[in-house]
Homo-oligomer: A and B are copies of this chain.
Amino acid sequence: MFYHVKELQYHAKPERPDPIFATQLQEVLGGQFGEISVAMQYLFQGWSVRGDGKYRDLLMDTGTEELAHIEMLATMIARLLDGAPVGDLETAAKNPIIGAILGGMNPQHAIVSGLGAMPADSVGNRWTADYIIASGNLLADFRANLNAESQGRLQVCRLYEMTNDRGVKDMLSWLIARDTMHQNQWIAAIRELESKENVVVPSTFPKSLEKREVAYTLFNYSQGNASAEGPWAHGMAPDGEGVFNYVEYPAPFGDVPKLNPAPPNIFNTPPAVLNANTETIPPNLC
């Protein structure tokens, strides 16, 4: 169960309105790696932990914090939209600044949300749960989390460079630091799980049931063999259970596939038509 307090986790006050930056900032609120994604991802992972203890607690701690980040970004975006001018071509023609705003702002901020933040990304795609993952396997999921924090911090850093507003930069510097923490945190948790389980997910599938002969092989399916120079092509593999090898000219292991005909009630192209390889029909006959 949750409780809400009115204060923000950190300040969210721009120096001045800027509807173009409001649009851009939506990315880290409602985009693929925005705060809605991490909040929902951590909470769903937490609720699915089939046991108690520190991992569930850590997920709930962090997921609950991300709710506060959604709130900070929603507040900041509303303030960046303060008094956003709107208009048509005639308006744009008179004032190049307004022309730029009309081009660069999300028109839904005026028409749909009434100058409020939206659960959408910087091009207006609405947030979707396609973005998140909770698999029940924590090592897999903590890797998803580390990725999310890596992509997220990267995007916030890019946004930091795109604005000159000191109030915005101040808030972004908070989010960047929190993402530093969260990357470090998931790395620490991943290391702990890897040390308990080994690095390959899932660790409990019997190795004897996989095709071991290709479990450490780099197949060179693309021309050039620069990839042979990497640490993934020779030496002991990170799981400590095999040695990498490199196949420069990989050949197929399987056959040419040949499918059975479909039954007539499916109304596919009839086999007689399909397999007539000889050309018996004049090509320009209509």
Question: A202-251: which have CB < 8 Å to B?
Answer: 202-205, 209-232, 235-239, 242, 244
User: When the two chains form their complex, are residues B193 and A269 in contact, meaning their CB atoms are under 8 A apart?
Assistant: yes
- Knowing A11-B253, A181-B215 are in contact, say whether A49-B274 is a contact too (CB < 8 A): yes
Pairwise interchain contact B262-A50, C-beta atoms closer than 8 A? yes
- Nearest B residue to A275, CB-CB: B51
For A181, list chain B residues within 8 Å (CB): 214-218
Asked if residues B108 and A27 are in contact (CB atoms below 8 Å), the reply is: yes
Is there contact, CB below 8 Å, between B235 and A284?
yes
Considering only CB atoms and an 8 Å cut-off, how many residues of chain A contact the other chain?
A: 218
**A82 shortest CB reach to chain B, Å:** 5
Among B163, B176, B232, B242, contact of A58 (Cβ-Cβ < 8 Å): B232
CA distance A93 to B212 in the complex (A): 33
Assuming A1-B68, A20-B102, A96-B96, is B129 touching A140 (CB within 8 A)? no
8 inter-chain pairs at a CB distance below 8 angstroms, sorted by A residue, are: A1-B252, A9-B252, A20-B88, A30-B129, A112-B155, A127-B128, A174-B214, A230-B279
- Top 7 A-B pairs ranked by shortest CB distance? A103-B103, A114-B136, A48-B116, A231-B283, A123-B124, A8-B254, A286-B286
Known: A86-B162, A114-B154, A133-B151. 19 other contacts (CB 8 A): A2-B3, A2-B67, A9-B253, A19-B89, A20-B102, A24-B88, A57-B222, A107-B123, A113-B134, A114-B262, A125-B126, A128-B130, A130-B131, A153-B202, A153-B205, A176-B210, A185-B244, A189-B230, A204-B270
